[in-house]
Amino acid sequence: MRARDFGIVVGTGTPGEHNAITDVPGVRVGHTTLISGSGPRVVGEGPVRTGVTVVVPHDGSAFDEPLYAGLHWLNGNGEITGMAFLQDFGLLASPIGLTNTGSVGVVRDALVEIEVGSLGKGGRAWSLPVVGETWDGMLNDIDGRHVKAAHVREAYEKAAGGPVAEGAVGGGTGMICHGFKGGIGTASRLVDGYTVGVLVQANHGRRERLTVNGVNVGSSLPVSALPDEEAGSIIGIVATDAPLLPHQCRRVAQRAGLGVARTGGAGENSSGDGFLCFSTGNRNLPANALDAAPPRTFQVTVLADEYLDPLFYAVIEATEEAVVNALVAAETMTGADDLTVTGLDGRLLAEMLTPGK
C-alpha cells in the first residue's frame, strides 16, 4: 500500500495517473529482487536481501537516442557512474541502474553487455552507463556481491510503464530509511501541461528527524533497535517531458534535495545523496556514433527559465511523497545476523497526521 491508500496526501499538487515516474510518457521501470537465506552472515552465501532496479528513460534506445540531463549532489559520500560524461556533455546515454554499493560494477558492465548484444554494435559500442548505489550491508551480505549480470538483464527486460512496485524491491530490497524499512518509492505531479516524476532509492535519515507534511512524527514513533544507526544515503531520479536544457535539468535535480529535507533528511556527512534529472522533451539529439558524422547543427525546444518554478515545486512534492511511499510500502524484514527492521505502519502514520489524534 502507498501513502494515499492510507489517506496521507503530500502537498497540494496533482499526481499523474499512476503517481509514478512512469507517468512521464515512455519511461519504464523494472526490478529484480533477491531474497534468500536466514541467520548468521556468511560472506558469499548470504543471507541475501538485495537486487537491482533499471529505469529506461524513453521508449526507444537510450544508447542511440540520448537525452538532456543534469546531476546534483547534496552530499557526495556515494557513487553514480558515468557522471564525467553526463556533467560535461549534459547527456544521458544509457538506462539508469540502481543497486547496492558492492554491485555497481557488475550492473555497469551488464548494461554495456545489453547495449552490445541488443544493438549489434559489432565491436564498436560506446557506452558510459549510469548506475547509482546505496549501502544495504546491515540486512544483506553485501560483500558477497550476489547481483549478477543476468539479474540486470532481467530487470531491463521487465521494465514497463504503469504502476511501479515499491518498498523492498529491486535495488531497494535491503535498504533502511529513517530507522524503518525503506527502499524504492515513486510519485509524480502534473504541472502546466507537463509531467514530473520522481523515483527514489531511500536508505537515509534518522528516526527522530522523520517529518511528513511538516509534522515531526519520528520523535513520537517507537525507538529504533538498529545498532549504530547512521544517516545512510538516497538516490533520486527525476524525469520530465518538459523540454529542458542540461543546466535546467541540473537545477530541477537540485530541488529534489528540498523534498528530502522536508522528510527530515539533511545530507549528513556519512550520506551519499545524488539526484539526476533527465528530460524527454527533445528526442532528436545526436548520439556519440563512432561510424557516422553528426549534423553540424540541430534544433531543440527549450522551456524559458522564467517558467521553471512550477517544475521546482513539483519535484519537491513528488520527492517527499516518493520517500513516504517507500516507507509505508516496505514491510518488516529480517536479514543477515537475524537483524529485524520494522516497516512503518501507514495507518499509525495517518493517525499521527490527523488533527486531534
Cell numbers representing residue 190 in the block: 502534473
Cell numbers representing residue 10 in the block: 503530500
Q: What share of the chain is helix, strand, coil (3-state, %, to 5)?
A: 30, 25, 45
**Residue 341 and residue 139 in contact, taking contact as beta carbons nearer than 8 Å:** yes
Q: Give the β-pairing of 180-181 and 333-334.
A: unpaired
Distance CA 3, CA 21 (A): 16
Distance CA 81, CA 109 (A): 11
Cell numbers representing residue 314 in the block: 513539483
Distance CA 3, CA 225 (A): 24
* Matching residue, cell 545476523: 337
Question: How many residues would you count in the chain?
Answer: 357
Q: Give the β-pairing of 48-56 and 96-100.
A: antiparallel
Nearest to 218 by CA among 46, 70, 50, 344: 344
| Catalytic site positions | 233, 271, 273
Distance CA 181, CA 185 (A): 12
Distance CA 242, CA 228 (A): 42
3-state secondary structure of 98: strand
- CB burial of residue 79 (10 Å; 0-12, 13-18, 19+): middle
